[in-house]
Amino acid sequence: MLAGIALASNRFVTKYAAAIVVAIVTTSCCTSMSKLVDPAGVVRRRRAVRGERGGGRAEIGAMMAATSTASTITTMKNQPTYDDANLILRLYDLRREEKLRAARKWFAAIPAFASREQWLIACPAGSDENAYYRMVTTYWEMAASFVVTGVLNPELFYRANNVELLLVWEKVKRMIPEIRKTNLMSLRQVEEVAEGFIRFLNEHAPGYYETFSGNIAKTLK
């Protein structure tokens, strides 16, 4: 009798266990199949892939934008250094000196010189005017020497609001040939930098120099 009960129990357990295994396998298969055929799952996956691809495109776009910005910033033919910038600031600081400021104010107000004779009348030897003239012209000749010799980046000099050098040259250039009969080096470096400045303005601000020079020419007597 006991043997019969044990045999019946074994058959029940075996049948029940087999049913559990079938259920587990069926559930697992259904889940796997649902992942394969579930449209929502496919859509979600596609969206995820698109998101990944979109992210890649976004990164590339950001890189291109950064490159474009960098190329805009680095349009200068020769990149200036921090030493160039410091020298520009030093030159600016020197122009703030009280006596030089007064001399620059005087120079800006005087008409352009048509001849050496006019200059001698306006700036006789020993006069304050003569001292003012020499202060302004020698300052800009010194600054120009930095550019001509390669100590200072030319384009940075042009960009850094140094158009006053061009004003000085425009006011004296007509009498310089006479001055150079006795002083061959008179304002040679100012002239060289002024010519470079004019080329820079013609390239980056067409028409500016013509107007600027024409206004100064109107002051000739």
Q: 165 and 66: one domain?
A: no
> Could you give the number of structural domains in the chain?
2
Claim to verify: residue 96 and residue 174 sit in the same structural domain: yes
Residues 24, 61, single domain; the answer is: yes
| pLDDT value of residue 111 | 96
Q: Do 69 and 115 belong to one domain?
A: no
pTM summary value: 0.66
Q: What is the pLDDT of residue 182?
A: 94
CA distance 99 to 131: 10
Enclosing H/E stretch for 207: none
Largest CA distance in the chain: 147
Pair (20, 87) in one structural domain:
no
Residues, the chain: 221
Residue 78 has what pLDDT? Answer: 84
The pLDDT-based confidence of 175 (bands split at 50, 70, 90) is very high
DSSP 98-148: HHHHHHHHHHHHSPPPSSHHHHHHHS-TTSHHHHHHHHHHHHHHHHHHHHH
Q: Do residues 166 and 149 share a domain?
A: yes
- The pLDDT tens digits of the residues spanning 27-84 come to 444 444 344 334 444 444 444 444 444 444 444 344 444 433 344 344 777 899 999 9
The answer to whether residues 147 and 192 belong to one domain is: yes
- Give the pLDDT of residue 193: 98
Regarding whether 121 and 62 lie in a shared domain, the answer is no
- 63 and 105 within one domain: no
Judgement on whether residues 109 and 62 belong to the same structural domain of the protein: no
- CB-CB neighbours of 217 under 10 Å: 14
State the residue range of the domain holding 164.
82-217
Question: Domain ends where: 15, 39, 73?
Answer: 73
Q: Could you tell me if 118 and 156 lie in one domain?
A: yes
Residues 48 and 116 in one domain: no
